[in-house]
Amino acid sequence: MAATRKIYDESGYELLRNSMVEHQIVARGISDPAVVRAMLEVPRHRFVPPELVDSAYDDTPLPIGDGQTISQPYIVALMTELLEPKPDDVVLEVGTGSGYQAAVLSRIVKKVYTIERIPELARRAKELFDELGYDNIEVFVGDGWEGLPDFAPYDGIIVTAAAPEAPQPLLEQLKVGAHLVIPVGTFYQRLWRFTRTPEGFVKEPSIAVRFVPLVKDEI
């Protein structure tokens, strides 16, 4: 089959992005105006490999190299909405990947810390944040199972890789009232939202999902 790579100009990508938000995000019930605004703003086509730019606004996850993926736009919007982000929040993301989820969060909150175990992905994401002028994101290379205790507690934590259960260190790095949004499960996974209360944690289910695993490095 002939290659069908299309090259749009920036206004072409903007049209695709507007259509993505209308049909994939708003039509499916995402209603937080800050989330909708961020999804309209962040140039998703900059976060996918060059050979996939024509698919950047499709209703699907895409490969980003190293066996990893950038999540489907709707899933990014849903996880962001579940987090209930506010302008003064300091949030943590585990699993930087392409950097797209961190970029979306960074348009809503004050500060985003994001941690990635693959140095090459972390490096590329950081470069892109610099290029786009997203200067409220800090990228760390490390093991997200432990969270990022140096800047804890957080107003919210998003994990973009699936774990068999919510890692205890992440729960402990939440402020009271803050949410942890995480896909839980091995083959069959579901998105869960944990909320820290003065007494412990409240756990709410969301939709079934499919994420790459949160890797546990053997020491």
**Residues marked as catalytic:** 71
Smallest distance from ligand SAH to CB 176, Å: 25
Q: Does 163 bind ligand SAH (CB under 6 A)?
A: no
Q: Does 189 bind ligand SAH (CB under 6 A)?
A: no
Q: Does 70 bind ligand SAH (CB under 6 A)?
A: yes
Give helix then strand counts, H and E, for the chain: 6, 9
d(CA 42, CA 142): 25
Q: Does 80 bind ligand SAH (CB under 6 A)?
A: no
Q: Does 115 bind ligand SAH (CB under 6 A)?
A: yes
Instruction: State the amino acid at position 177 in one-letter form.
Output: G
Within residues 190-219, the interface with ligand SAH by CB under 6 A covers 212, 214-215
d(CA 123, CA 104): 18
Within residues 117-156, the interface with ligand SAH by CB under 6 A covers 117-118, 121, 143-145
Pairing of strands 174-185, 154-159: parallel
Tokens of 79: 């996880």
> Which has the closest alpha carbon to 79: 170, 145, 165, 161?
161
Which residues in this chain contact ligand SAH in the complex, by CB under 6 A? 68-71, 94-95, 97-98, 100-101, 115-118, 121, 143-145, 160-161, 212, 214-215
